[in-house]
Amino acid sequence: MVKYYINEKPYTFKISSTVLDVLKREKKDYRRFLACKVNNIFCDLNQKIRNGDRIRLLDITNKEAFKCYQNSLSFLLSAVTDEYFPERELVIEHSFVDGFYCRFSDHQPVRKNDLNKLSKIMKVKIGEHIPFVKI
């Protein structure tokens, strides 16, 4: 068994568990957490826990976790655009608090219909709970 701390509260769990394994067992609302800090180092939730680790859970209200969320959404937007508009290249110019400034590299205007289609497809993909896997 491994002893560790989540937000200063002690826990024990089996060896070679990840932060996500523990969250699924200990927190009913585990899906709200986007990332964590383990011993003050920013990590994803697949981080393996070692004896004595101090874990701080981060949700969207945390600046670093929000940036992670934005990066995930931009990755998803890019992947969906590549899949459904393979002849067009998406350029993400800037991210804002609640969105992105994007354009297609062919400089053709982005139609409202295109945005609606991309948004709908992204919502479906999000609903599928496909994990991001580090390769």
In this structure, the answer to whether residues 43 and 78 fall within a common structural domain is no
In this structure, the answer to whether residues 7 and 49 fall within a common structural domain is yes
In this structure, the answer to whether residues 103 and 73 fall within a common structural domain is yes
Which residues in the chain belong to E strands, given as ranges?
Answer: 2-6, 9-13, 33-38, 41-43, 54-59, 90-96, 99-104
Q: For every one of its 135 residues, what pLDDT tens digit does the chain have, with 9 covering 90 and above? A: 888 888 888 988 888 889 999 999 888 999 999 999 999 999 999 999 999 999 999 999 999 998 888 888 888 999 999 988 899 888 888 777 677 788 888 888 778 898 899 899 999 999 998 877 777
Rounded distance, CA 106 to CA 117, Å?
19
- Does 134 map to a domain? no
CATH number of the domain at 10, please. 3.10.20.30
Total count of domains within the chain:
2
In this structure, the answer to whether residues 30 and 51 fall within a common structural domain is yes
Residue 104's pLDDT is: 85
- Does 52 map to a domain? yes
Domain that includes residue 13, residue range: 2-59
Tokens of 27: 């927190």
Calculate the alpha carbon distances from 102 to 25, 84, 89 in Å. 39, 16, 10
